Amino acid sequence: MASITLKNLVKQYGDGYPAVNNVSIDIADGEFIILVGPSGCGKSTLLRMIVGLEDITSGDLLINGERVNEKAPRDRNLAMVFQNYALYPHLTVFENIAFPLRLGKGKHTEDEIKRLVTDAARTLELTDHLERKPGNLSGGQRQRVAMGRAIVRHADAFLFDEPLSNLDAKLRGQMRSEISQMQRRLGVTSVYVTHDQTEAMTLGDRVAVLKKGVLQQIASPRELYEQP
Ligand code: ADP
Ligand code: ADP
């Protein structure tokens, strides 16, 4: 697990106002933080800077106190959690979860892979579904398979980029509670991007509100709710 510190982060693409403008946030170990704001406010850019998919124009990014501005994504040990579109339809749940282990540099033995996948499946209550294909799973189960991939790698933090935005309202509601329960059970540091107010107010420990790249406020959902 990890703390993540954003110190005066700036992302300047062209000549206009910066996409991310001097944003500072201290994310505690195990905290679930939501980045919310209208389209174009810089949420995805900020998330991509944390993962390492976007260069940082200025400012510092620290993971567990260590500056990682120049570190490659694979050396940051953070996991992007995608929707089911990132699952391989022709592979079983077991093989989908095992996938990052088979790719890894420090190749795992088959026994290790089996143990890691079995452990993750137990945590995620997927034990009975390991031989199924993603097409036969419910939305919540697919979401858990995606999280399983992050868990087997022992990622320090999960990063979610609008994971529910393409779902209908009913499914979105189910997945919201699945994600919330899972994050609390695992206690893993999570950063979750959304433009959806309901997700922002129900999922996180704290909500960071962005507007035109600037951090407007950061507070617990309750504090935000009670504001006049
Ligand atoms: P959000 O995720 O909140 O919708 P983004 O982070 O995608 O916002 O975008 C923030 C701003 O940066 C927008 O004005 C967008 O047009 C701009 N932007 C994003 N990516 C690029 C890029 N690769 N090149 C130039 N401008 C970009
Ligand atoms: P339930 O969990 O109520 O059985 P399902 O999860 O089977 O519902 O899905 C309901 C609808 O949403 C189906 O059309 C399914 O294809 C679609 N769906 C399910 N999960 C996802 C997902 N993760 N991403 C996009 N669409 C999904």
Work out which ligand 1 atom sits closest to the CA atom of 213: 10
Cβ-proximal residues to 37 (8 Å cutoff; 6+ apart), any chain: 43, 195, 209, 210, 211, 216
What is the ipTM, given to two decimal places?
0.65
Q: Is the CB of 134 within 6 Å of ligand 2?
A: no
Tens digit of pLDDT for each residue in 188-198?
Answer: 899 999 999 88
Q: What is the model's pLDDT at position 161?
A: 87
Specify the pLDDT at position 74.
84
| Owner of token pair 């790719």 | 103
Q: Which two tokens stand for residue 30?
A: 């195990």
86 CB under 6 A from ligand 2? no
pTM of the model: 0.81
Residue 167 in contact with ligand 2 by CB distance below 6 A = yes
Atom nearest to 195 CA in ligand 1: 3
Residue 86: what pLDDT? 79
Q: How many alpha carbons fall within 13 Å on the CB side of residue 30?
A: 4
pLDDT of residue 81: 78
Stretches where the chain sits below pLDDT 50 are none
**Bridge partners, residue 192, by sequence:** 34, 160
pLDDT of residue 105: 64
79 Cβ neighbours under 8 A, 6+ residues apart: 149, 150, 153, 155, 157, 158, 159
Residue nearest to atom 17 of ligand 1 (CA): 19
pLDDT value at residue 85: 57
